[in-house]
Amino acid sequence: MSVVAVIAGAGSGTRLGSQGPKALVQLAGEPLLVHAVRSMFASGVVDRCVVTAPEDHLVQFEAALAAAGLHATVVAGGHTRQASVAAGLAAAGSADYVLIHDAARALTPVSQIQRVVQALEAGHPAVVPALAVVDTIKSVGHTNPDGTEPIDQTLDRNRLRAMQTPQGFALDIIVAAHAQFATTSDDESTSAPDDAALVESSGHPVVLVRGSERALKITRPLDLRIAELLATDSADMPRAEVES
C-alpha cells in the first residue's frame, strides 16, 4: 500500500495580514508549510509529499523545506484551491491512496493522519476527519435593507460536523472526481468547498473519523495566536505527536 500527500499551500495570506503566501507564515519559528509536511512524514503512513505553491514562490517553498531537512515535490497551484489540488494530483504519480491536506492546518496531530489512513485501509474510498459542532447553527435568508438577516431554520447541531484535513481518498476516485468537475474550478464562487464534496457529487460514499481541535485552520490573526499558544504549550512534547 502506498500513500501520497498533496498539501495545498498556494493560498494568499491576505486575511492573516501577511504580505506573502500563507504557507510561509511563521509559527513557532518555522513556516506553516514545514509543520504540515513534517507531520505527514512523522505519521509513518505517508511515502511522499507534493506541495502546491504560488507560481512565483516555488523557489522559496523549496528553500523552506530544504532548510528543515524535508523533501517534497513543489508544483505551481491554481487560482482556486480546487485547481491547486488538481495540479497537485497531476504531480502525485502512482499510489493507492492520497491525503489532501491544508498547509494552514499546521498542528494536525500524526494520530489524526493515521486514523484517516486506517479507515482507507479498512475499505472506505473516502475519509474525512471532523469535529462535532458546539455552536447553535442557523440558516438565514437574504440580508434585509437594514443589514439584519432573517433566520430560516435552526439546524440540529447533533447531526452537524465541521470538516478538517487531511481528507483521504482512493487515488483513482479523487482524480476522476476532479476531472468530472474541472469546469467549476476556475472561480471560488463555483469551486468545491472541499475535496469530499467532489467525491460526494460523483456518487461515492464519504465517512468521517475523529478530528482534533489542534488541527485548526490558521486563517486569521487570532487563529495564529491560538496556534502559537498550542505550540508553546506542547513544546516539551514531540511536536508531531501531540493530540488534543
Write the CATH number for 40. 3.90.550.10
**Is residue 186 one of the residues assigned to a domain?**
yes
Other residues' Cβ atoms within 10 Å of the Cβ of residue 160: 15
Q: Could you tell me the three cell numbers for 57?
A: 514562490
Mean pLDDT of 94-115: 98
* Residue 168 domain boundaries: 3-130+161-241
Residue 236 has pLDDT above 70, yes or no: no
Q: How many domains, in total, are found in the chain?
A: 1
**Is residue 105 one of the residues assigned to a domain?**
yes
**Is residue 154 one of the residues assigned to a domain?**
no
pLDDT at 240: 43
Beta partners for residue 203, in sequence order: none
Mean pLDDT of 7-26: 89
Report how far residue 104's alpha carbon sits from residue 9's, in angstroms, rounded to the nearest whole number.
8
Q: How many Å separate Cα 57 from the centre of its chain?
A: 19
**Is residue 152 one of the residues assigned to a domain?**
no
Report how far residue 178's alpha carbon sits from residue 66's, in angstroms, rounded to the nearest whole number.
30
- Give the mean pLDDT of the chain: 93
**Is residue 22 one of the residues assigned to a domain?**
yes
**Is residue 7 one of the residues assigned to a domain?**
yes
Which one has a higher pLDDT value, 47 or 11?
Answer: 47
Mean pLDDT of 34-45: 98
pLDDT at 234: 64
**Is residue 138 one of the residues assigned to a domain?**
no
**Is residue 145 one of the residues assigned to a domain?**
no
Mean pLDDT of 231-238: 63
Mean pLDDT of 183-198: 89
pLDDT band at residue 233, thresholds of 50, 70 and 90? confident
